[in-house]
Amino acid sequence: MDGMTKAEVDKVGLSEIPLHARPIRPRDAATLILLDRKGDEVLVLMGRRHARHAFMPGKFVFPGGRTDPADSRIPVAAALHPEEEANLTAGVGRTSPARARAIALSAIRETYEEAGLLIGQKGAFATTGHGWQGFVEYGVRPSLEALRFIARAITPPNRVRRFDTRFLSAWRSDVAVELPESGPTNELEELVWLPLAKARQADIPDITRTILEELERRLADDPLLRPGGSVPFYRLVRNHFVREIL
pLDDT at 128: 92
Separation of alpha carbons 142 and 44, rounded Å? 21
Domain range for 178 is: 2-245
SS3 label, residue 126: coil
pLDDT at 243: 87
What are the tens digits of pLDDT across the range 2-55? Answer: 444 444 444 444 444 444 456 678 889 999 999 999 988 999 999 887 656 555
Tell me the CATH number at 113.
Answer: 3.90.79.10
For the chain, 246 residues long, the average pLDDT of each consecutive 10-residue run is 43 46 78 94 87 63 92 96 94 87 96 94 94 95 97 82 91 94 76 93 88 94 93 84 83
List of E strands, the chain: 2-4, 27-38, 41-49, 60-61, 64-66, 117-122, 140-142, 148-154, 163-171, 175-178, 188-195, 232-237, 240-245
Q: Supply the DSSP string of 208-229, one letter for each residue.
A: HHHHHHHHHHHHHH-TT--TT-
Residues recorded for the chain: 246
- Nearest Cα neighbor of 107 from 73, 79, 66, 145 is 66
How many independent structural domains does the chain possess?
Answer: 1
C-alpha distances in Å from residue 69, one per residue of 8, 109, 118, 133, 237: 33, 12, 20, 17, 27
